[in-house]
Amino acid sequence: MKFEQPLSERMRTFLRVEFLYEQTLFHVDEPTEFSARAAVSALLEILTILGRSDVRTDVSKELERHAELLGRYRSQPGVDPTRLSKLIDHIGELKQQLSEAGPQVINPLKECEFLTTIRHRSAIPGGTCTFDLPDYAYWLHSPSAERRKQLDEWTNHIKPICDAVAEVLWLTREATEAAPQVATGGLYQHSFDRSDQASLVRVLLPAGGGMYPEISAGQHRFTVRFVRWRGVGARPAQVNQDVRFELAIC
Residues of the chain with pLDDT under 70: none
The pLDDT assigned to 75 comes to 78
Task: Write phi, then psi, for 19 (nearest 5 degrees).
Answer: -60, -45
CA 37/CA 31 separation, integer angstroms: 11
Same-domain check for residues 99 and 194: no
CA 194/CA 11 separation, integer angstroms: 19
In a domain, 3, yes or no: no
The pLDDT assigned to 53 comes to 79
Same-domain check for residues 229 and 123: no
Overall residue count recorded for the chain in this entry: 250
**For residue range 215-249, what is the model confidence (pLDDT) as tens digits?**
999 888 999 999 999 998 888 889 999 999 999 99
Same-domain check for residues 156 and 199: no
Find the domain containing 32 and state its range.
Answer: 8-174
The pLDDT assigned to 52 comes to 84
* 3-state class (DSSP) for residue 23: helix
Same-domain check for residues 186 and 65: no
Give the burial class of 154: count Cβ atoms within 10 A of its Cβ; 0-12 exposed, 13-18 middle, 19 or more buried: buried
In a domain, 70, yes or no: yes
Same-domain check for residues 164 and 184: no
CA 62/CA 108 separation, integer angstroms: 26
Same-domain check for residues 112 and 12: yes
245 forms bridges with which residues in the sheet? 181
In a domain, 148, yes or no: yes
Same-domain check for residues 186 and 101: no
Q: What is the CATH number of the domain that holds 241?
A: 2.60.440.10
Same-domain check for residues 169 and 48: yes
Q: What is the CATH number of the domain that holds 50?
A: 1.10.3900.10
Domains of the chain: total? 2
pTM for this prediction? 0.94
Same-domain check for residues 165 and 186: no
Cα of first residue to Cα of last residue in the chain, in angstroms, is 17
Closest-CA residue to 84 (of 70, 69, 95): 70
Same-domain check for residues 104 and 223: no
> Distance of CA 34 to CAs 38, 42, 177, 248, Å?
6, 12, 39, 37
Q: Write the DSSP string, 176-227.
A: S--EEEEEBTTEEEEE--TT----EEEEE--TTSSEEEEEEE-SSEEEEEEE
